[in-house]
A and B are shown apart, each in its own frame.
Chain A
């Protein structure tokens, strides 16, 4: 699989640089971000202190070809480490019938806000769960084609590269779950580098009256491995043997449009995992989100969503979903209040929250974003967690945070 990845990157570079130099135009752009985040209960304790440089190289080659490379270089003050991550590196080719994008890329699916059951094509790096979703996503080498016929667009995707969700370490204060007696998870058994182990996806979209609608299908691997336990006769307790990924199919659908003065959207995904007797694999399950937004005359915008996961067996509710919205929630609602202000509405104040209805927990994120100059903004915010210990957000009740972030784009 890694060879395939390297080969594809080499092909991209060769294609791009073999074009006529005169017909090419290059551009480098990006941003520099400083981010400091401290724990509210112990303000001397830094959770994040980092400098992040985003660099994008873009080029168009003639009228029908372009390429883009997007990378992040991060220096962590706490660890003293620097690392570079290429999130995207792809080439586009456009024609009347089909648009092709080949290379390492992020593909965003779904029309809901933040909670997207169908947005499963790129796993997320959750080692810093408060990072922005678009940065958390791990780019993967894929071939994406968009076929245009009549009013329809058919996306056909072949995912050549596989990666899984990067979970916070089990011994960290951000661990999403604990396994008694285990401080770290072993490396999982990744799918083999074979054509039959690659992943496929399709999406058919069109606009019907005032609604954008789409249906989708995915045949691939879970983004989170399932723990396989055996019983240790000597210790007389279950023992984690290995982590294994299961093959899963998804049938999805979404829509977004307007009804009267309200924006309205919905997104649903039905997951069918390969036949398996493992009690830690739930099968099948459905996740759906419905949402609506409204803008008041004073400019305040409100957005409300309801999310639910439906399982065939009641006992499956306790098992973590390996695909879908990427959070172990069963029933939740989210809200977002936003008000822009300033002469050109360059500043904004926003309150975002997710309420875990089933387990009574709350994530509450107020923030103020000031843009004193074009391309420069300062963000000051709080990330607060409330709830019972067994709820997702209640686990982090001691992790309430204050942060300051400033970004300069160039």
Chain B
């Protein structure tokens, strides 16, 4: 009996030490290590959803876009506009790479042509929203220098607040991005975007939900603090790991009828 108690105490002590060392390890992570975890966090192999984009002006007037979206990891994304009627049939395709800028194409039915989006145009608004094409893309880990500013709770979730400053040769609309990274899952829950004059320009808030074994965004809101305009992206009919085929992420798929 005594031996059992000693064993249990020993085990308990072991787990306490293990847990403590994990916490210790988390606490001693560098900004780069945190962002490496953020970059390689567990995400769905693929994800499909219906996305509602609400564009809200400072007077509260709302314009709505409805889209169907498919994603494969962080690297491939295709979306079709379903509403309103004047943009219906338009589509957007993004392919990301580790070693170079994203490829992006847009299809506008009026022109019957798939057009590549040139890299300089990525600072432009994505279909009139507060997101730019750059915001819709995949941020390259190597393009930024990172620093932990502080640690704080955000909506009850402990976070690292990490500052990302782009390398000089990186084409970006921002001088700095500050991210709130949830310590448990390495997910960014909030981001502040600073313009070239280092003034806070936009604010992004992410609301997450658990789907199967993953944490995925339920809504993403981007607010332009200068114009007081904001865009909400609300995700419905979320499905993960559906076995989506890679062929979906080809430019010829953009022109299909949905």
**Residues of A participating in the B interface, judged by any CB pair closer than 8 Å:** 29, 31, 58-60, 66-68, 92, 94, 96, 99, 106-108, 110-111, 132, 134, 146, 148, 153, 207, 209-210, 212, 256-258, 261-264, 293-295, 297, 299, 301, 340, 343-346, 374-377, 407, 409-410
Contacts A108-B112, A108-B113, A210-B100 known; A374 to B121 CB distance under 8 Å?
no
Chain A residue numbers with a CB within 8 Å of B63 are 344, 346, 374
B114 nearest in chain A by CB position: A212
Chain B residue numbers with a CB within 8 Å of A94 are 256
- Option from B227, B229, B258 in Cβ contact (under 8 Å) with A60: B258
> B111, A344: Cβ atoms under 8 Å?
no
Distance, CA A375 to CA B110, complexed state (A): 14
Q: Which of B112, B119, B124 neighbours the largest number of chain A CB atoms within 10 Å of its CB? A: B112
Interface string of B23-53 (1 = CB under 8 A from A): 0000000000000000000000000000000
- Option from B88, B120, B128, B257 in Cβ contact (under 8 Å) with A258: B120
Q: Is the interface of A mostly helix, strand, loop or mixed?
A: strand
> B121, A295: Cβ atoms under 8 Å?
yes
Contacts A146-B252, A210-B100, A345-B125 known; A261 to B120 CB distance under 8 Å?
yes
For the side of the interface on B, what is the size category? 35 or more
In angstroms, how far is the closest chain A Cβ from the Cβ of B48?
14
Interface string of B82-122 (1 = CB under 8 A from A): 00111010000000000011010000001111011011110
Distance, CA A256 to CA B121, complexed state (A): 14
Distance, CA A376 to CA B229, complexed state (A): 21
Contacts A108-B113, A344-B229 known; A299 to B86 CB distance under 8 Å?
no
Chain B residue numbers with a CB within 8 Å of A29 are 85, 88
In angstroms, how far is the closest chain A Cβ from the Cβ of B87?
8
> A301, B116: Cβ atoms under 8 Å?
no
**Residues of B participating in the A interface, judged by any CB pair closer than 8 Å:** 55, 57, 63-64, 84-86, 88, 100-101, 103, 110-113, 115-116, 118-121, 123-125, 128-129, 171, 196, 227, 229, 247, 250-252, 256-258
> B119, A92: Cβ atoms under 8 Å?
no
Distance, CA A263 to CA B121, complexed state (A): 8
Chain B residue numbers with a CB within 8 Å of A258 are 101, 116, 118-120
Distance, CA A293 to CA B123, complexed state (A): 14
> B257, A92: Cβ atoms under 8 Å?
yes
> B85, A134: Cβ atoms under 8 Å?
no
> A344, B128: Cβ atoms under 8 Å?
yes
Distance, CA A367 to CA B219, complexed state (A): 38
Chain A residue numbers with a CB within 8 Å of B171 are 261
Distance, CA A299 to CA B100, complexed state (A): 24
- Option from A96, A148, A212 in Cβ contact (under 8 Å) with B116: A212
Chain A residue numbers with a CB within 8 Å of B55 are 343-344
Chain B residue numbers with a CB within 8 Å of A59 are 257
In angstroms, how far is the closest chain B Cβ from the Cβ of A93?
11
Sampled A-B contacts (20; CB under 8 Å): A106-B112, A134-B110, A148-B250, A210-B101, A261-B119, A261-B120, A263-B121, A293-B121, A294-B120, A295-B121, A295-B123, A297-B123, A301-B124, A343-B227, A344-B128, A344-B229, A345-B125, A375-B86, A407-B86, A410-B85
A96 nearest in chain B by CB position: B247
In angstroms, how far is the closest chain B Cβ from the Cβ of A78?
26
Distance, CA A59 to CA B257, complexed state (A): 8
Distance, CA A68 to CA B86, complexed state (A): 17
> A66, B257: Cβ atoms under 8 Å?
yes
In angstroms, how far is the closest chain B Cβ from the Cβ of A275?
34
Distance, CA A333 to CA B196, complexed state (A): 34
In angstroms, how far is the closest chain B Cβ from the Cβ of A296?
9
Chain B residue numbers with a CB within 8 Å of A256 are 115-116
Chain B residue numbers with a CB within 8 Å of A375 are 84-86
Chain B residue numbers with a CB within 8 Å of A340 are 125
> B118, A293: Cβ atoms under 8 Å?
yes
Distance, CA A94 to CA B250, complexed state (A): 13
Distance, CA A106 to CA B101, complexed state (A): 33
> A108, B256: Cβ atoms under 8 Å?
no
In angstroms, how far is the closest chain A Cβ from the Cβ of B14?
53
In angstroms, how far is the closest chain A Cβ from the Cβ of B137?
14
> B257, A60: Cβ atoms under 8 Å?
yes
In angstroms, how far is the closest chain A Cβ from the Cβ of B93?
11
Chain B residue numbers with a CB within 8 Å of A107 are 112
Distance, CA A66 to CA B121, complexed state (A): 33
